[in-house]
Amino acid sequence: MQTKAKHRGRNQKVIREKVILITGANGEVGHGLIRRLYDLPSAPPVVVLDINELDRTVSGYVREAITGDILDDGLLNRLAEQYEIDAIYHLAALLSTSAERQPERAHRVNVEGTMNLLRLASAEAGQRGEPVKFIFPSSIAVYGMADIAEKHAAPPISEDQHLNPITMYGCNKLYCEHVGRYYSQHYRQLATDGRGAGVDFRALRFPGLISALTTPSGGTSDYAPEIIHAAAAGEAHSAFVRPDTTIPFMMMPDAVDALLALADVRRERLTRTVYNVSAFSLSAEQIAERVRVHFPSARIDYAPDAGRQRVVDSWPARLDDRRARQDWGWSPVYDAERAFSDYLIPMITARYQSGSA
Ligand code: AKB
């Protein structure tokens, strides 16, 4: 739907509609987030920006879907003229495998794109005299374990450990976390001094995310959802990692809940700007075993891709998310058992049986 800023005549203020902006809304997280925000009675309408046209399955839930590039300053300026942006969920990014294939483009999209959005948030906060919440999904990719021995021997990794990413995507996310913290502190100081309002930057480091409703692309944790979706579709599948490959995972509804919960919590309760969140860890073969319980004829084997294996081997096997639990009550609904029995298997089965996949 197209909405225009309302002009109240010469010398009068332009009334802009208050909205939430989601970038990269066509991705898996975006799909879930759009639906959840639509159902929240207190949430302002959502405007989305994505490089591709918004999927028809979610386009009915947004005020406006803009097809465009976060690197297009003119587009962002026009957006700000038209809407009062209350909060930004900045999901747009090239994921780890895509970013390794085009590292310079990844840097432009992931870093310069984030800078553009932070600049927009800061200008908006200044204009309306109230902070703008900036919710940033970061990733397990910011970590870099030295080798497999260290990865498996290490206790769950907390936020300030092993910050040695080996991928362009991991470097981009880690840097943007720091720039977001800078914006938050710098502009909070402006607010304290009475010189304006600031960006309220909050980030989550997600593990591998798995959705029953959508299939991922461009990530390295994609091997897990690929195994599950292929089995449900009745297709033979070769996973691109070794069977012992282990990282933490989370179901998509928990990921969306985590973003909304972090956005909702009072700033005073937060002791940091970046939080780990996690649900459970499984190896690729443990995932395949659970899949075979429900799809006994699933044909799953392993054909590791050296580059992608190296990436996933550098990510921790387990994350310590105690700070999120303590500060804002984070707790996933889906452990490994419930993830399969209550979410993945019923929803994926329904999806492939109905032919909607
Ligand atoms: C990826 O694989 O790149 C993402 C991530 C773990 O951030 N899913």
Q: Write down all domains in the chain, each with its CATH number in brackets.
A: 15-207+253-276 (3.40.50.720), 209-250+278-317+334-352 (3.90.25)
Check whether 2 has a pLDDT greater than 50: no
Cα(311)–Cα(306) distance, rounded to whole angstroms? 9
Q: How confident is the model over 116-124, as a mean pLDDT?
A: 95
Q: How confident is the model over 280-284, as a mean pLDDT?
A: 98
Check whether 4 has a pLDDT greater than 50: no
Which member of 61, 83, 89, 169 is catalytic? 169
State in Å: Cα 96 to ligand 1 middle: 6
CB proximity list for 66: less than 8 A, separation 6 or greater: 47, 48, 49, 50, 75, 79
Check whether 7 has a pLDDT greater than 50: no
Check whether 1 has a pLDDT greater than 70: no
What 3-state class would DSSP assign to 243?
coil
Tokens of 105: 């483009």
Please give the residue that has the higher pLDDT: either 12 or 301. Answer: 301
Q: Is 315 in the pocket of ligand 1 (CB under 6 A)?
A: no
Q: What is the CA radius of gyration of the chain?
A: 21
Tokens of 283: 């190896």
State in Å: Cα 219 to ligand 1 middle: 5
Residue 46: the pLDDT is 98
Cα(180)–Cα(135) distance, rounded to whole angstroms? 10
CB proximity list for 337: less than 8 A, separation 6 or greater: none
Check whether 328 has a pLDDT greater than 70: yes
Q: Is 95 in the pocket of ligand 1 (CB under 6 A)?
A: yes
Check whether 56 has a pLDDT greater than 60: yes
Q: Tell me whether residue 187 is one of the annotated catalytic residues.
A: no
Q: How confident is the model over 248-263, as a mean pLDDT?
A: 98
Of 12-21, 142-151, 220-229, minimum mean pLDDT range: 12-21
Calculate the average pLDDT of the chain: 93
What 3-state class would DSSP assign to 346?
helix
State in Å: Cα 240 to ligand 1 middle: 14
Cα(96)–Cα(103) distance, rounded to whole angstroms? 10
Mutate which of 136, 166, 209 for ligand 1? The one with the most ligand atoms within 8 Å of its CB, which is 209
CB proximity list for 356: less than 8 A, separation 6 or greater: none
Name the residue with tokens 């005020």: 63
Q: How confident is the model over 197-215, as a mean pLDDT?
A: 94
Q: How confident is the model over 124-130, as a mean pLDDT?
A: 89
State in Å: Cα 145 to ligand 1 middle: 16
Residue 210: the pLDDT is 98
Cα(131)–Cα(135) distance, rounded to whole angstroms? 13
Residue ID of nearest Cα to ligand 1 atom 4: 219
- Reported confidence tier of residue 195, pLDDT bands at 50, 70, 90: low
Q: Where are the alpha helices (DSSP H) in 193-301?
A: 223-233, 252-264, 284-294
Of 73-82, 184-193, 257-266, 317-326, minimum mean pLDDT range: 184-193
Cα(321)–Cα(256) distance, rounded to whole angstroms? 16
Tokens of 66: 């803009």
Atom of ligand 1 nearest to the CA of 220: 2
Q: What are phi and psi of 90, to 5 degrees?
A: -95, 90
Closest-CA residue to 279 (of 174, 206, 170, 177): 206
Atom of ligand 1 nearest to the CA of 312: 2
Beta strands 208-210 and 46-50, pairing class? unpaired
Of 87-91, 176-180, 196-200, 303-307, minimum mean pLDDT range: 196-200
- Reported confidence tier of residue 134, pLDDT bands at 50, 70, 90: very high
- Reported confidence tier of residue 286, pLDDT bands at 50, 70, 90: very high
Residue 12: the pLDDT is 61
- Reported confidence tier of residue 126, pLDDT bands at 50, 70, 90: confident
Q: Is 277 in the pocket of ligand 1 (CB under 6 A)?
A: no
In percent, the amount of the chain with pLDDT more than 70 equals 93
Residue 186: the pLDDT is 76
